[in-house]
Amino acid sequence: MNSRRVFLQNVAMASMAIPFTNFKLYEEKTLRVAICGLGSYGTRVAEAIQSCSRVKLTGVISGTPSKIKKWQEKYNIPDKNCYSYENLDKIKDNPDIDAVYVITPNALHHVQVIRVAKAGKHAICEKPMAVNAKEGQEMVDACKQANVKLLVGYRMHFEPNTLEVIRMRNKGDFGKVLFFQGLCGFKIGDPSQWRLNKQLAGGGSLMDIGIYAINGARYMTGEDPIWVTAQESKTDHVKFKEGVDETIQFQFSFPSGATASCLSTYAMNNLDRFFLNGEKGFAEMQPSTNYGPIKGRTNKGELDKPHTIHQAVQMDEMAAIIFDNKQAVVPVNGEEAVKDLKIIDAIYEAVRTGNKVSLKL
């Protein structure tokens, strides 16, 4: 009887232990996010969050009451989690919100991110993070002082084919990197939109689409540039007023001796291509930065990583960065964004002066 009892106890204990082999040692925390700015890209992010495993949309911040009402109905957001731009500081007292994703016109990022930080919430900011490096650094400093994280919406830093090219470069499949080309552009429409307003956008095509080539040159080569030259072309002085660039070509040199040639434009379609050339091979991506699917090939064959919803992957990864201190393969922190802003400042200076401008990032 005793042996039978012991046998049954052992079987019971074993059967109880089986399900726990699939359990994690801790429960993953869910990042509860409020979106600040309910425009087209804010809408895209909100939709992507619905397929996230670690992120939940719990609040909204907008200057348009009718938008707030529609979002409340669609995403079941209670009144207590809805804010205007005037009272967003009150999120400080809201335990339902861990982070705020700022998706407003570029010139508003600076003040809004600082307000979010002072309210004690983590800040996620769309790129470009600010209209110049000075403002960007002030945002980084404010978040550090408040002991909150500042992350930037570099969705391509999590895109599978992009990461595969970076992996291959790091492995040495392309040999010594020699050259990068980044072509980014489209024909912009409505001339009254905020992207063509210097006070709201901080510039023109460079701030909106050119930043992809700037950031891409850095993560594709694995280096930061040491100088830049740049030239501007403008054919429509009505749509592209003073301080709003239509087309800018810019060139980099890197510490290794590699070079880059890039184009940013609001005047041409079908420009979304990255090309990386090395002594032993190459990588070509087209499209390289749009919402996908990203396509490309290397000297070893086609890139075939699965298509993902960029914003969903980005948000889940950011939850891991915030809660688990996960390190992204390519950083998405505020310091990374300040480097891009320093380069943007230098490109505009090179256009203005016609000189080669040195960079210290």
Instruction: Measure the CA–CA gap between 212 and 286, rounded to whole angstroms.
Output: 13
111 — alpha (psi -120 to 50), left (phi > 0) or beta? alpha
198 belongs to the catalytic site: no
Catalytic residue (choose from 121, 127, 239, 339): 127
212 belongs to the catalytic site: yes
Give yes or no for a contact between 254 and 223, defined as CB atoms under 8 angstroms apart: yes
Strands 177-185 and 271-278: antiparallel
Q: Which residue shows structure tokens 């392309």? A: 174
Residue 53 CA: distances (Å) to CA of 22, 32, 328: 17, 12, 18
Strands 55-61 and 31-36: parallel
Q: Which residue from 245, 236, 223 is spatially nearest to 352, judged by alpha carbons?
A: 245
Catalytic residue (choose from 83, 101, 154, 212): 212
Looking at the annotation, which residues are catalytic?
127, 212
